[in-house]
Amino acid sequence: MDIETEDIEARYKRLSTKRESLVASKMKLDAELAVRRKALRDAMEECKKQGFDPDTLAEDIKKMREVLVVKLNVFEADLLDVEEQIKPLLKEIE
């Protein structure tokens, strides 16, 4: 019976140590989760301050890109138009 008692005690100590380790790991994870949640809240607040809705941020970015592409197309067309107008003038002075 002594061997069984010793085995039980050793097992209990091993499991208790493992439990303590897991509790410490959980506390570490809980702390990291709290830090990341705060960072997320801060980022969402910054988005709101900048006039964006965090819930529609991906859609807003897509729309802004589309607007940017349209504006770049207009800019490119204007540059081509100016280039065509300048070509004859450059030929005259060369």
Q: Is 58 found in the same domain as 38?
A: no
Range of the domain at 57: 53-94
**pLDDT tens readout for residues 14-55:** 999 999 999 999 999 999 999 999 999 999 999 999 999 999
Q: Which amino acid is located at 55 in the chain?
A: D
Statement to judge: residues 16 and 41 lie in one domain:
yes
> Do 2 and 47 fall into the same domain?
yes
Pair (41, 72) in one structural domain: no
Q: What is the pLDDT of residues 56-85, one digit of tens each?
A: 999 999 999 999 999 999 999 999 999 999
Same domain, 39 and 69: no
Same domain, 30 and 69: no
Number of structural domains found in the chain: 2
Do residues 60 and 53 make contact, with C-beta atoms less than 8 angstroms apart? yes
Q: State whether 43 and 66 are in the same domain.
A: no
State whether 41 and 62 are in the same domain.
no
